[in-house]
Structure 1
Amino acid sequence: MSTGKNRPVRIGLQLQPQHADYTAIRATASAAEDLGVDIVFNWDHFYPLYGDPDGKHFECWTMLGAWAESTSRAEIGALVTCNSYRNPDLLADMARTVDHISGGRLILGIGSGWFEKDYTEYGYPFGTKGSRLDDLAEALPRIEDRLAKLNPPPTRRIPILIGGGGEKKTLRLVAKHADIWHGFGDPDTVARKVRVLDGHCADLARDPAEIERSVGVGDVPDELGPQLLELGVTQFTVGVGGPDYDLELLRKWIAWRDKQNG
């Protein structure tokens, strides 16, 4: 198992674009950057996931274009883009454009999608979990091919983050296509997912150390951080929702990161 000890610890913020005015979202992204966060993510939904299901909410990729101008140092991205909502070639072009606007700070986070309300309200076929994963498997090579054809090309090889923990399909797609894997769960769950991912890497003759491991965290880092770090996780992402974005937990993870990185 790759321990990830050669990678620096990085801290992300998932700034959930729900229950808040955009001015508060923009101010929180800037505040997180000022605190020293490494990555500011949003998410790709059309309705809130928590609280009032019809509360305030904003679209993902237009927001990323705005963040590309309103931030200057932190990487930005979606945690994660729903593959179902955009043509893969268009998504690649959008990613390339935001990459340029941001000066090479975009992470292309993507997943197969799951929130049925988004699909039904916006007229996308929901299909099945299996069909959505099959669609993602077809989309990833198209995204890679389109990124290679665009003029001008991206400013860098845009990192691809794949979110999800499905052991047969999702983690195999991570092993084949991703630079970053993002998952959720306690250390025991993460340990199992890492073992499965490493097995897929072995099957595909890929060095598992090439894939950065990322986990969503909702507790203080004192015990959780070292446990996940030992499993090879080096990216830790705190989620916050509106209307009042509380960055106290993020501050604790940033302070812990600074101790780990020396």
Structure 2
Amino acid sequence: MTKSIRIGVQFVPQHHSGYQAIRDNVARLDQSGVDIVYNWDHFYPLSGDPDGTHYECWTMLGAWAEQTSHVEIGALVTCNSYRNPDLLADMARTVDHISGGRLILGIGSGWFERDYIEYGYDFGTAGSRLDDLGAALPRITARWGKLNPAPLRDIPILIGGGGEKKTLRLVAEYAATWHYFVDVESYRRKAEILGRHCADVGRDPAEIERSVGLRGDNPDEVVALADALLAEGVTQFTVNLHAPDYDYSVIDALLRWRDAQR
């Protein structure tokens, strides 16, 4: 393959018996051959008991940065609404240094209304949240240029979402990686639209890594979908790891598939 296939795991930060279980599994992932470990940026569980145990995103990423040695780390994705963009840039720079240059800034416009209500953020509309993201991204990149010390690398920005008018335009302008949940047909459509946005801003769409979230617990079915999406140009594939069972069967199958491709 001419492009590197990468396997990501989103370690879901809900319904854990305690932080030690998260720490132990992140240590296992760091040694497993996985390329990236993500969490997510919410304040309450997204499934199961809505008031179940849950941990905050960026505090956890700081701990992961210190704990791990091999994997890249990041949020899939940070909610732009929850932090001042200049503060977020500084947080990302700091975690980048703690990790030795392994941070990915995954970011999106936000959607989980309970987070907004409980923590006192203005929920607005889908359009206003995307406009806020569009205003935040140049502030984030500008702040990186002002910080002392500077980030250890050009921190890659991952933008999550598939909105055809605004989100994909922001991907074309700012993202190193575009992440979405797609099947083959929807990926083709979104990729074509992203290509048009890239042409509008004068960017080669081949510069943007294509990332997908894969759902399912049947390893053969997940690998078959990954294989089909690889043929379309997707090279990053992410699956979830949940408490309390911590089932690695799909992860292990994807790692074997990735290594066979190489």
Q: TM-score range by the shorter chain?
A: over 0.9
State how far apart, in whole Å, the 2-side matches of 1:114 and 1:52 are: 19
Q: Over residues 81-116 of structure 1, what are the superposed CA-to-partner deviations in whole Å (9 max), with x where a residue is unaligned? A: 000000000000000000000000000000000000
Moved more, 234-243 or 117-126: 234-243
Following superposition, the deviation at residue 242 of structure 1 comes to 1.5
Q: Secondary structure at the match of 2:145?
A: helix
Match of 2:40 among 26, 40, 43: 43
Paired residues of 1:10 and 1:257 also in contact (CA < 8 A): yes
| Pairing 1:99–2:99 present | no
Moved more, 23-32 or 167-176: 23-32
Q: Over residues 132-155 of structure 1, what are the superposed CA-to-partner deviations in whole Å (9 max), with x where a residue is unaligned? A: 000000000000000010000000
Moved more, 26-35 or 108-117: 26-35
| Number of residue pairs aligned between Structure 1 and Structure 2 | 257
Residues 154-233 of structure 1: pairs in structure 2 closer than 5 A: 154-219=151-216, 220=219, 221-233=222-234
Unpaired runs of 5+ residues, structure 2, are none
Match of 1:19 among 10, 15, 21: 15
Identity %: 67
Structure 1-normalised TM-score? 0.96
Q: Over residues 185-224 of structure 1, what are the superposed CA-to-partner deviations in whole Å (9 max), with x where a residue is unaligned? A: 2111112111111111111110011100000012434421
Which amino acid in structure 1 is aligned with residue 206 of structure 2? A
Match of 2:139 in 1: 142
Match of 1:10 in 2: 6
State how far apart, in whole Å, the 1-side matches of 2:57 and 2:245 are: 19
| Pairing 1:153–2:150 present | yes
Structure 2-normalised TM-score? 0.96
State how far apart, in whole Å, the 1-side matches of 2:249 and 2:57 are: 24
State how far apart, in whole Å, the 2-side matches of 1:258 and 1:42 are: 24
State how far apart, in whole Å, the 2-side matches of 1:175 and 1:19 are: 36
Match of 2:49 in 1: 52
Following superposition, the deviation at residue 240 of structure 1 comes to 1.9
State how far apart, in whole Å, the 1-side matches of 2:246 and 2:53 are: 14
Unpaired runs of 5+ residues, structure 1, are none
Which amino acid in structure 2 is aligned with residue 66 of structure 1? A
Which amino acid in structure 2 is aligned with residue 253 of structure 1? L
Paired residues of 1:194 and 1:231 also in contact (CA < 8 A): no
Q: Secondary structure at the match of 1:142?
A: helix
Match of 1:78 in 2: 75
State how far apart, in whole Å, the 2-side matches of 1:6 and 1:156 are: 23
